[in-house]
Amino acid sequence: MVRLLLKFSVLPMLLTLTPVVAGEPPQLERHELMEGVRDAAKPIAKMSKGELEFDAAVVMASFQTWSEAAKVFGDMFPQGSETGYDTEARETIWSDREGFNAKLTSFDEAVDAAIAANPLDLEGLNAAAGPVFKACKACHEGYRVEDED
Ligand code: HEC
């Protein structure tokens, strides 16, 4: 639902995460959380490419979405949720939880730094978002099943 609305509006308030539905399997919870993270990345990527006008409020809303996600993502990998529901989580999350947590912390820190930087133009945005995207990639490389991206 939130994703659908996003197609028609970039109002910052709509960028907040879908509330987690009680009783939903963790595989689906984290999948949905990551979709929210990706949706928040979209306007930023478009601004960087010049396809969307820079908008500081939209940028900050995306950063907030990432920050909220970073706070809860680590709790979405309980024992027993290693497989099922087409999860893209790699077994390394369970065999090397410390390494996974470290990637999550670097992501959280990059997001905090981006929020503190409070970018007011495209140059500032690129400088702030670059390290965040690197942190996404660094975690996916070790802890997400490889796929097309
Ligand atoms: C600490 C690790 C970590 C970080 C940081 C991280 N991801 Fe992920 N991401 C994952 C894992 C693990 C999955 C697979 C989750 C699953 O399927 O259970 C995933 C899945 C995804 C997916 C697929 C969602 C789907 O359809 O299932 C997208 C898109 C995504 N991440 C985008 C991002 C973006 C964009 C960022 C940064 C802004 C990011 N991720 C940061 C670990 C991370």
* Cα 130 from Cα 25, distance rounded (Å): 32
Contact status, residue 77 vs residue 94, Cβ threshold 8 Å: yes
pLDDT at 23: 80
**Beta carbon of 54 within 6 Å of any ligand 1 atom:** no
pLDDT at 19: 54
Given the candidates 1.20.120.10, 1.10.3720.10, 3.20.20.370, 1.20.1440.230, the CATH classification of the domain at 26-143 is: 1.20.120.10
pLDDT digits (tens, 9 = 90+) for 26-62: 999 999 999 999 999 999 999 999 999 999 999 999 9
Q: Which residue, by CA, sits nearest to atom 3 of ligand 1?
A: 139
Distances, alpha carbon 72 to alpha carbons 4, 17, 51, 131, in Å: 23, 11, 31, 20
Candidates 140, 147, 148: which one to mutate for ligand 1, based on the most atoms within 8 Å of Cβ? 140
Contact status, residue 78 vs residue 33, Cβ threshold 8 Å: no
pLDDT digits (tens, 9 = 90+) for 2-24: 555 445 544 445 455 555 556 89
pLDDT digits (tens, 9 = 90+) for 63-76: 999 999 999 999 99
Instruction: Read off the pTM.
Output: 0.86
Domain ranges within the chain, ordered by starting residue: 26-143
